[in-house]
Amino acid sequence: MAAFAATQSPAAELQDLHLNFEPRTKDERARIAGVVAAPSDFSTPQPYEELSAGAATVRARTDADAFSQPSANLSFEQELDFKVGNGLFKKIWVSSPASTLASDGLGPLYNARSCQRCHIKDGRGHTPNGPNDNAISMFLRVSIPGGADYAEIEDYIATQPEPTYGGQMQDFALPGHPAEYRLDIVYEDVPVTLSDGEVVTLRKPTYTAADLGYGPLHPETMLSPRVAPQMIGLGLLEAIPVEDLLANADPEDEDGDGISGRPNIVWAIEYGAPMVGRFGHKAGMPTIMDQSASAFAGDIGISNPLYPAAHGDCTAAQIECVDAVHGDGDDRVFEIGHEGMDLVAFYSRNLGVPARRDVNDPQVLHGKQVFHDSGCASCHTPAFVTHRMPDRSEHSFQLIWPYSDLLLHDMGEGLADNRPEGRATGREWRTPPLWGIGLTKQVSGHTQFLHDGRAQTLLEAILWHGGEAQAARDKVVAMPKPDRNALIRFLESL
């Protein structure tokens, strides 16, 4: 892709405000460019390809804890912080007032009582298994047009929370408060015929916010379904230099390859400035701290230094929720304070990425070539080298293989939620990292992919690709079955 020139957008002036790093030398840049370049020989693995997260890579376990290990290069003291952060990540919050003063403040409206209840085993959430399934780790983001317009951010699409229901729909509530809604999903079968006559049936979902607890939604409400993503390798994604992300952006498709990736640029609450978004299905969050703090407020109703409202996502229209007894105002100040947030963020940054499997397998190597030849690597960028950081040695100068550019891409009408977020349009999504994707069934007990879990297999996920990925998707449909099988086998090795 063409470089994201400084004349095209103020985004080129963005900095990694969240990192203390040493600038790269000219020689270092050249050496890194050679290391991360696409291979010309697919008969053998690339050097260090099995180490998905560099020195932070962990052994690939064969049980459901494969995504729950601390990064391999943490010190003894850091492992202690990781374990305490894990405890906070799993902690079950309770309502106020309570005798457990360090754990009260839940809700009054919420989607889950702990972080782990959405990111089950630190892996993916799932769609409902039936009308009475309450452990789905899925919810609806909601907004309407208008609201704050950040002049500092080019192409920012102004939206605002739904007046009554806020920024997302909560399907649980404390006693005495009605839940906001119940999520209904109806699927329509969409058959796709492959080159050899095989028919794959896709599930096309229609979402309804049913049993509304606070009256009708605004007539211009935009709904976006979200399933919780896996948690591994987040600190390494946070440590990729912003200039490397912008170097892959080509918003005007100047090189004519049909790929027009661009960064989402969002307002960083922690730093009071625009930054490149890296986390969330539309790259709506710039840092792990911001992502974690937003989730505490929106998903659990827990106040924190970045999102200090004691009532979480409740709006002024939900008077009883706003006026309810909350858990802040004691020695913590917030329901979770600075120290707790630091520990949760540290845990989230350091969930280890499992090592690749079967990198020497001939079918895997052939599938890797199919992956590149089909154009998949145009968005799912295989490798990066992280910043040199004196105060984050566990993430410093690591060759990593996330298979994502963290940029926004138009994925076509089939996957569109028609809800903007920052600079992201209703058809754009962040390229999700693929590392660990082959262990989804082992960790999460299912194989549901994409932002809303509609795809039940990796092949289905590919077949949903449209927009900028339409050409790559069509190549997969048209290729011989052995090539398609090899591609899936390669993805399963990640």
What's the sign of the alpha-carbon dihedral 30, 32, 36, 39? positive
Average pLDDT estimate for 288-301: 97
Handedness of CA 356, 360, 364, 370 (dihedral sign): positive
Question: Dmax of the chain from CA atoms?
Answer: 66
Distance from chain centroid for Cα 351: 14
> Which pLDDT does position 10 carry in this prediction?
46
The string of pLDDT tens digits covering residues 445-493 is 999 999 999 999 999 999 999 999 999 999 999 999 999 999 999 999 9
Do the Cβ atoms of 360 and 44 come closer than 8 Å? Answer: yes
Q: Mean of the pLDDT values across residues 311-315?
A: 94
Helix (H) or strand (E) holding 430: strand 428-430
**Residues belonging to the chain:** 494
Percent share of the chain, pLDDT over 90 = 89
Peptide bond into 97 cis (omega under 30): yes
Q: Is the dihedral of CA 69, 70, 76, 79 positive or negative?
A: negative
Q: How far apart are the first and last CA of the chain?
A: 24
User: What is the per-residue pLDDT across 124-147, written as a single tens digit (0 to 9) for each?
Assistant: 999 987 655 655 689 999 999 998
Buried-state track 212-248, b at ≥16 Cβ within 10 A, e below 16: bbbeebbeebbbbbbbbbbbbbbbbbbbbbbebbbeb
Phi, psi of 236 (to 5 degrees): -75, -40
User: Per the domain annotation, does 462 fall within a domain?
Assistant: yes
Q: Establish if 73 belongs to a structural domain.
A: yes
pLDDT of 7 reads 35
pTM of the complete model = 0.95
Residue pLDDT, tens place only, 381-410: 999 999 999 999 999 999 999 999 999 999
207: amino acid identity, one letter: Y
Q: Is 160 helix (H, G, I), strand (E, B) or coil?
A: strand
Instruction: Kindly indicate the confidence band of residue 98, based on its pLDDT and cuts at 50, 70 and 90.
Output: confident
Tell me how many degrees the CA angle 282-191-425 measures, rounded to the nearest 5.
Answer: 20
Contact 187, 204 (CB under 8 A): yes
- Retrieve residue 350's tokens: 């350091």
Residue 5 belongs to a domain: no
Q: What does the mean pLDDT of the chain come to?
A: 94
Q: Strand ranges (DSSP E) for 134-276?
A: 138-145, 159-160, 172-173, 182-193, 199-210, 222-227, 265-268, 273-276
Q: Residue 301 and residue 309: Cα distance in Å, rounded?
A: 9
Q: Is the pLDDT of residue 221 over 90?
A: yes
Domain assignment of residue 3, yes or no: no
The number of folded domains in the chain is: 1
Residue 319, domain extent:
10-493
Looking at residue 151, its pLDDT comes to: 85
What is the per-residue pLDDT across 154-185, written as a single tens digit (0 to 9) for each? 899 999 999 999 999 999 999 999 999 999 99
Query: Tokens representing 139?
Result: 């919810």
| Orientation of helix 76-90 relative to helix 338-349, angle to 10° | 110
Query: How far is CA 254 from its chain centroid?
Result: 28
The Cα 368–Cα 363 span in angstroms is: 9
Q: What is the pLDDT of residue 5?
A: 39
Residues 208, 219: Cα–Cα separation, whole Å: 14
How far is residue 106's CA from residue 341's CA, in Å, rounded to a whole number? 16
